[in-house]
């Protein structure tokens, strides 16, 4: 990753308040994990899959079936590589949020503004 891509990633990651995190956690509670991290760890293919899924859904869960001891480091890596925001890690599941590019596709914007 070169310097310019790091700058772009930082610009798209957002800081969430505790109320916004709670709103997103509550919204993610009934969801099932959409991506599983297995024995191969976080691969390029999984990053691409996460980018595709989060682009469509905005809020996703990623479950760590393996690498449970390294989940915090791997979640940070996912956050950086997908330009998303790590909402919280609950057990072996990480919740990520990335606002949709088009305002019409944003499902959580109103709730985040109220929080």
User: What pTM was estimated for this model as a whole?
Assistant: 0.85
Distance of CA 93 to the CA centre of its chain: 11
Spatial separation of the C-alpha atoms in residues 40 and 24, rounded to whole Å: 29
Task: Provide the residue range defining the domain that includes 15.
Answer: 3-114
CATH of the domain at 50: 3.30.110.60
> Quick check: 84 pLDDT over 50?
yes
pLDDT of residue 1: 43
Mean pLDDT of the residues in the chain: 87
> Quick check: 115 pLDDT over 90?
no
- Which phi and psi (to 5°) does residue 66 adopt? -125, 175
The Cβ of residue 95 has, within 10 Å, a number of other Cβ atoms equal to 24
The Cβ of residue 89 has, within 10 Å, a number of other Cβ atoms equal to 15
Spatial separation of the C-alpha atoms in residues 15 and 4, rounded to whole Å: 20
- Which phi and psi (to 5°) does residue 46 adopt? -70, -40
pLDDT tens for 21-63 read: 999 999 999 999 999 999 888 999 999 999 999 999 999 999 9
Closest C-alpha to 89, from 9, 6, 33, 51 = 33
Residue predicted with more confidence, 71 or 10: 71
Per the structure, how many domains does the chain have? 1
């Amino acid at each position: 990753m070169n310097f310019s891509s790091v700058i772009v990633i930082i610009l798209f990651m957002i800081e969430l308040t505790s109320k916004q995190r709670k709103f997103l956690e509550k919204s993610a509670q009934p969801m099932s994990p959409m991506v599983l991290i297995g024995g191969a760890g976080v691969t390029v293919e999984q990053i691409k899959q996460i980018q595709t899924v989060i682009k469509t859904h905005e809020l996703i869960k990623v479950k760590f079936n393996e690498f449970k001891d390294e989940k915090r480091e791997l979640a940070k890596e996912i956050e950086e590589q997908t330009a998303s925001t790590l909402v919280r890690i609950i057990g072996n599941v990480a919740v990520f949020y990335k606002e949709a590019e088009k305002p019409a596709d944003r499902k959580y914007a109103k709730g985040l503004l109220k929080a």
